[in-house]
Amino acid sequence: MRTNPEPVKIAVIGTGNVGATTAYALLLSGLAAEIVLLDVNRTKAEGEAMDLDHALPFSHPARVWAGDYADCAGAAITIIAAGTNQRPGENRLDLAKHNATIFRDIIPQVVRYATDGILLIATDPVDVLTYASWKLSGFPPNRVIGSGTILDTARFRYLIGQHFRIDPQSVHGYIIGEHGDSEVPVWSLANIAGVGMPEFCQHEGLTYDDQAMEAIFRQTRDAGNEIIRRKGATYYAVATGMVRIVEAILRDENALLTVSSLAAHYGINEVCLSLPTKVNRNGADHILQLPLNQEELSGLVKSAESVKAAIRALNLDASHETAA
């Protein structure tokens, strides 16, 4: 694994639950020498920066402060976690329109200063807003990345591990497509220690139960809603996933992560969604084309169409500002 010896600045825009927790996880990781926080509520950003500063004696040397868009200059990565959560009675399209309006203000101001960095999007609906960020920024596609299904994939691996009493780090499997209701589990390639799931069960004297596997997927897909129902928001796991993406970029790892980026496989185009992607210093450097079975491929195409419908409703081509 390559290291990153140069001092690194990371900007975090939006200091709500996800943004603030991501900044905290970044501080503990030691990946950034500078972390600048921006929020429409400047006082909130200042309070978060003060709190993080007081953790410095227990963590890694860094400079943490509340800033303005000009402070994004020189940022290797700008994380965007600004926006609103879905309100009761609000559908996904309403949320997309509302947060896209916020992004129309944010993105041009970020790219005015952070001209050479990578945009990393956390705000939901993340696939739609990753596409919007690409359009609004004028950046090449590899430099605009969404958190995508990195969290869904982690939940998937965790739940399979729980079912078989195996460390989830020894479980390999992907959730692809939209981060949302139309996401697709790639059961055909899921494995434990390199052994396919049915074969693993056969060798270990276990029963491979299709209904149990379907329940695992439903729990994966619905986990966010279940957490929100219980505590109001999700942020620990997604913040950890964001830091994992940052790490892969800064350390030039060529790690395969299910981030959201502009798709160009399976006849799918003009949409951002998640597939295993080689992430390195260039950002989303290369998307893998998995050997999907027909059911998985059909699900992925349907997922892409769902995201495309939301993108079309934003009418980005008619009204976006492209940064110089």
Known catalytic residues?
Answer: 179
Residues 6+ apart with CB under 8 A from 226: 219
Torsion sign over Cα 160, 122, 234, 184: negative
Q: What are phi and psi of 248, to 5 degrees?
A: -60, -35
- CA-only gyration radius of the chain, Å: 19
Structure tokens at 142: 């590899």
Torsion sign over Cα 300, 305, 310, 316: positive
Task: Give the helix/strand (H/E) hosting 145.
Answer: strand 144-146
From residue 312, how far is each of 51, 61, 237 by CA, in Å? 41, 45, 30
- What 3-state class would DSSP assign to 88? coil
Q: What whole-number distance in Å separates Cα of residue 170 and Cα of residue 321?
A: 45
Q: Give the DSSP letter string of 274-306.
A: E--EEEETTEEEEE------HHHHHHHHHHHHH
Among 159, 161, 173, 164, CA closest to 206? 164
Q: What whole-number distance in Å separates Cα of residue 95 and Cα of residue 125?
A: 7
